[in-house]
Amino acid sequence: MRALIFVEHSNGVVSENAFEMLLLAKSIGAECHGLICTGDAGAAQALGTQLTGFDAVSAVADPTVGHYNPEAVLIALKAAVETQAPDVVMTSYSTAGVDLAAGLAVRSERPMLGYVTDLELNSGGLSATSQVYGGKLTAKTDLPLPAVTTVMPGARKAGSLSGAAPAVTMLKPDLSGARTRVREIITPDNSSGVNLGNADMIFCVGRALGGTEKLPLAEALAAALKAELAGSRPVIDAGWLPKIRQVGKSGTKVKPKLYLMAGVSGAPEHLEGMESSELIIAINSDEQAPIFRKAHYGTACDMFQLIPALTERLNSGNS
């Protein structure tokens, strides 16, 4: 059994998801190959040294894939699949991973399964556990090999693996077929000084906030806690809070000591941004809400009753 893991990275650091997928692949006894796509050979070597625990690592180092370019990276991934013939290709359930897995599945005529949280060997190939309906249901699927999977962040806790990282083998696929080029990366304006990524305490509100009329309640609790105020995507899409305050897959990934959340259901795309928080406390009126499976503590109650009461208690100094 051989697994090819697409290794995502940012600012020179390999994403934790790569190691989570590694542990998942190792749990089915797979020989694990990693693929890095980056702009130059030096960056590829530096990333390769972080891949402790992988059995082999290859890299495509070319300016065309220096910034994530789905068309070009898909060509690179397909080339790696053709050379290495993995039984299972694993990408993270991330913006890039979903793009690539779907494209690869079509081009290589392999079945693809998304939202995977666990894999086991069975007689015909793999038995995969995956999330359905935003995590409300779980499915078991027989997955014939060879196959492509996208793996949920957090499917395995990324532990430290011992041993030396393998040497990086350079691949040189013909990327000239990629028609698109990344011309410029535009980073969001952060003149407000908000930095959720570094915050120790975050109070996050979800769609249940209902509008800006109730925002002062949330701001008062955030101030009383000395926490940064954040929102789930619907809160940002509705314009109740600025984009810089969005947590999740398409927002900021955070790791505070305390992540207090109110009126957030716990969709996978939100969890992806906050599940590494040290302490997660959820307020949600629906006791079946998926967030209660992830939160360390939770209360099933109306946030509009609890938020003012908590603020008052904190401000009274009797917290």
Ligand X SMILES: Cc1cc2nc3c(=O)[nH]c(=O)nc-3n(C[C@H](O)[C@H](O)[C@H](O)COP(=O)(O)OP(=O)(O)OC[C@H]3O[C@@H](n4cnc5c(N)ncnc54)[C@H](O)[C@@H]3O)c2cc1C
- Residue 103 or 263: which CB sits closer to ligand X? 263
- Residue 165 or 238: which CB sits closer to ligand X? 238
73 is in an annotated binding site: no
269 is in an annotated binding site: yes
The answer for residues whose C-beta is within 8 angstroms of residue 183's C-beta and 6 or more apart is none
Spell 121-153 as b/e; 16+ CB within 10 A means b: eeeebbbbbbbeeebeeeeeeebeebbbbbbbb
- Residue 126 or 289: which CB sits closer to ligand X? 289
* Owner of token pair 């495509």: 60
Question: Minimum CB separation from ligand X for residue 306, in Å?
Answer: 8
Using the Cα atoms of residue 15, residue 18, residue 21 and residue 26 in order, give the sign of their dihedral.
negative
Question: Minimum CB separation from ligand X for residue 293, in Å?
Answer: 12
Residue nearest to ligand X (CB): 248
Question: Minimum CB separation from ligand X for residue 17, in Å?
Answer: 15
197 is in an annotated binding site: no
Question: Minimum CB separation from ligand X for residue 242, in Å?
Answer: 14
- Residue 166 or 206: which CB sits closer to ligand X? 206
Question: Minimum CB separation from ligand X for residue 262, in Å?
Answer: 6
The answer for residues whose C-beta is within 8 angstroms of residue 213's C-beta and 6 or more apart is none
33 is in an annotated binding site: no
Phi, psi for residue 37 in degrees, rounded to 5: -120, 125
**C-alpha distances in Å from residue 135, one per residue of 117, 246, 309:** 10, 20, 31
122 is in an annotated binding site: no
Residues binding ligand X (CB under 6 A): 206-208, 232-234, 246-251, 262-265, 267, 269-270, 273, 283-286, 289, 302-304
155 CA to centre of own chain: 10
110 is in an annotated binding site: no
Distance (Å, whole) CA 319 – CA 316:
7
268 is in an annotated binding site: yes
Three-class DSSP category at 309: helix
Q: Confirm if 165 and 45 have CB atoms less than 8 A apart.
A: no
157 is in an annotated binding site: no
- Residue 23 or 139: which CB sits closer to ligand X? 139
- Residue 33 or 233: which CB sits closer to ligand X? 233
Question: Minimum CB separation from ligand X for residue 205, in Å?
Answer: 8
Q: Confirm if 107 and 71 have CB atoms less than 8 A apart.
A: no
- State the binding site: 207, 232-233, 246-250, 263-270, 284
Give the residue numbers of the binding site for FAD. 207, 232-233, 246-250, 263-270, 284
